[in-house]
Amino acid sequence: MRELQEVRKIDREATKFELKSFIPAMQAISAKDSRYRVSFVTFISKRPPTELFNEWSPDGFSQKTQEHVDFSLVNLRRIIKRADIEDGQREIQGKFIVFGNQKAGVWTALTSDDADFFNTGLVRFLELYRPEVSRVYASTDEMRKIFDILSQDLRTEVAVQKAVLYSHLEEGEVTFRKGLYRRLFAFAEAEDDYVDKVEFKLIGNRETLLHAFLARDATFYYYAGRAGLIFSKIVPLVVEVATRKGRLFSNRARPRGEAVLNPIQIEYEKDVLMSPGDNLRLVRALAKLDRGAVTVYHLNPYVHVSLVDFVDGSSFNIYSGESDKILIVPNFNCTVHSLMRIHEQINRDFQEGSLKESAPHDLTLEDFIGA
């Protein structure tokens, strides 16, 4: 991370640094290097991530942590061994910073090392701590609201440079190029697509205040402009999405020996389960969950399936009691990580809806098939 060298130039005697000291360093480097990128990923962990890192390291990884004023600096090394790699192995090495709020249980990691280190090193490293570490996913509506707030609070236009969208019904990506963000989200709604990634510029008084990137998997990049806006605006808005979903998905497992359940409901503004074909599409979407298994108990006129997530042993019953609702009912084992995965799977391969919290209750037949 080149920023460390810039920060150390300012105070060569310092051994501890603050996160805000990286802001001028990021701006200085971006002004000189058009290929510069700082990559961020936000995730959920009830425990401080460095506690997990120091307890054990996944196979092939090694790390050393250094504590600073309001962040931890992690030196990460990964050895990948595969027969199809020249000499049988390759090494990935770099540094990343992790910071966050233990009370909220939401953290953000960042690095300016290359994309290979970010994706194959840092992100993969975090994912191997699942289910204690959970990725975060924003819906198209949540992404739009982030841009709404940026536009209103900063009195700027959000100019899309490039965006990637996907259809709920067809394979392949759709590319949207250059236009105001409102056009992008209006286009997505009209075409029944979901927004996956957006490269954008914040423009105020004919000046580019920030050039950045945001994806629905809570990864985002800084390219150029006022780096402080990343920390004062983008990070808090993404953390807000993560905090809200983390709270909703927490403590949902069914207590052993008790009949009371803690279901979560996905509601839609239109009827999305009108026919046996719609029901089958929902089942097929759930069946695509990586390392999961679906058992179908009922398909018509209502859906009732059981889903097991083999990543952490979480299990659920999923029902469609009405044409505009899906009910997810956790069983004895249920994690935030698994609920996040299932909700995103439905959003991507079936239809995006609004999460609603159902009050704990004893489920009856009416909950599943309606009045």
Q: What is the pLDDT of residue 158?
A: 97
Q: What is the pLDDT of residue 369?
A: 46
Whether the full predicted model's pTM is greater than 0.85, yes or no, is yes
Q: Which residues pair with 66 in a beta bridge?
A: 73
Tens digit of each residue's pLDDT (9 = 90 or more) over 170-223: 888 888 888 999 999 999 999 999 999 999 999 998 899 999 999 999 999 999
Q: pLDDT at residue 367 above 60?
A: no
DSSP state of 88: G
Q: What is the pLDDT of residue 313?
A: 94
Q: pLDDT at residue 95 above 50?
A: yes
Tens digit of each residue's pLDDT (9 = 90 or more) over 29-87: 999 999 999 999 999 999 999 999 999 999 999 999 999 999 999 999 999 998 888 88
Domain with CATH 3.30.160 in the chain: 264-369
Structural domain 2-135, CATH architecture: 2-Layer Sandwich (3.30)
The beta-strand segments (E) located in 85-218 are: 89-101, 106-111, 133-135, 157-167, 173-180, 193-204, 207-215
Tens digit of each residue's pLDDT (9 = 90 or more) over 356-366: 876 555 555 45
Measuring CA to CA, which residue among 120, 138, 44, 42 is closest to residue 79? 120
Distance CA 291, CA 309 (A): 6
Distance CA 307, CA 328 (A): 10
Domain with CATH 3.30.310 in the chain: 2-135
Tens digit of each residue's pLDDT (9 = 90 or more) over 235-292: 999 999 999 999 999 988 887 766 667 889 999 999 999 999 999 999 999 999 999 9
Q: What is the pLDDT of residue 4?
A: 86
Tens digit of each residue's pLDDT (9 = 90 or more) over 131-169: 999 999 999 999 999 999 999 999 999 999 999 999 988
Q: pLDDT at residue 371 above 50?
A: no
Taking CB atoms within 8 Å and a gap of at least 24, the contacts of 209-213 are: 209/154, 209/156, 211/161
CATH of domain 264-369: 3.30.160
